Each structure stands twice: as C-alpha cells, then as structure tokens.
Chains A and B, each alone.
Chain A
C-alpha cells in the first residue's frame, strides 16, 4: 500500500494564481482531511470529508475549496493564492471520523 500520497511536494505560486493540491489514499478510508502547518501554530484543519460526496469546513476554510467524488481522492483547491497561504499542507485519512489519521508527506507551498 502506498498509504496517503500528495502531489506536488513543492510549489511556488504568484499572488492571484489558482492551483490544486492532490491527495489520494489506497486504504479505503472514509474520512479524509486537509491541514495547514505554520510555525508555532500546530496543525489547523482546513476542510474534511466523512465520505464520498460529503465535505465540511474546518477551522480555517477561507480561500480553499474541496470536493470528494471518490473514496480515494480529496483535492484541495486554492482559488486565488495569497501570501498568507504560504504554508505546509498535509492531507490525512482515517477509517472513520475520530479514529487515528494517517498523514501524507506534505506539500510545501510558497506564494509570492
């Protein structure tokens, strides 16, 4: 099993550009989530999904969109990148909501 995979590993965007961060898992997990990690702030939840077709907002959803058309994939879209979105983004999945989550390797995003 590959576990949770994320692409790309690194990305540099200009302010106002849009892009999609990809996340996939091969563990047949129902629950998937996106976090951003900033120095001194731990991990903050952006969006999550409890199953295909179901998504909801986390703590810091503004400026991001998600969709969950399949169990395996949970892409995160930045609509119009801003320097405040410079961060490391982690995707995670879990068998069910509330159970342990398995993390991908992360995407380091810089917005200039």
Chain B
C-alpha cells in the first residue's frame, strides 16, 4: 500500500507571504499525484494534478507543485498568500491502481 506524509498538520503564514505545504509519498511505480483543497463544511476540490510530462504543474488560484522523483515529493506552493486561501489541504497519490491514498491534511491559516 502507498503512504502519503504531509509534514505539518497546521501551517500559518502572513497575508502576502509564500505558502509551502509539504507532501512526501512512497511508491514503487511512477505515481499520479494530486492536491485537493477543502473549505469548511464542503467537499474536496481538485487544485492540481501530476500524471506525466512536465514536473512543475500549475493549478487553480495561483497554486503550483513540483514532482521530484528523487525526493519522492510533491510540495505545494503559492508565491503570495491570500486570506481566501485559508482551508484544509490534502495531498493524494494513485499508483494507477484502483485506490487513492490521502495524507492526513494540512490546515492553512492566513494571518492578516
């Protein structure tokens, strides 16, 4: 089975500062990688995904992530945090099988 580790269950940044949310995974085969965002009392919304090709992927709301195979990482970044970015963020991995594996989530707080 896969495992997904999100370092830091809570991250706080000032408005306008860099957002960096970390995700590491274990996989013996090239994975598909995803970041989802969850706003309070809502379902999960896809931010971005990596399947093949360019390792730097851009998503919605100014977020991007880079797949680094040598580090088995897929960290999420945004150059400048906005108050509306406050939410729970989940990293997920699929090994092209039938199951998704989610990390335990990182709660992002944006300080005005």
Contacts and interface: CB of A to CB of B under 8 A. Distances in A.
Given A100-B49, A106-B43, A45 B103 contact: no
Interface in B30-53: 32, 34, 36, 41-46, 49
A95 B32 CA distance: 14
Interface string B76-112: 0000000000000010001111111111110000000
Interface of A is mostly: strand
Contacts of A41: 104
30 contacts: A4-B43, A31-B98, A35-B102, A40-B9, A42-B4, A42-B90, A42-B102, A42-B104, A43-B90, A43-B102, A45-B99, A45-B100, A45-B101, A50-B98, A56-B98, A90-B43, A90-B44, A97-B97, A98-B94, A98-B95, A98-B97, A100-B46, A101-B100, A103-B43, A103-B44, A104-B43, A105-B42, A105-B43, A106-B41, A106-B42
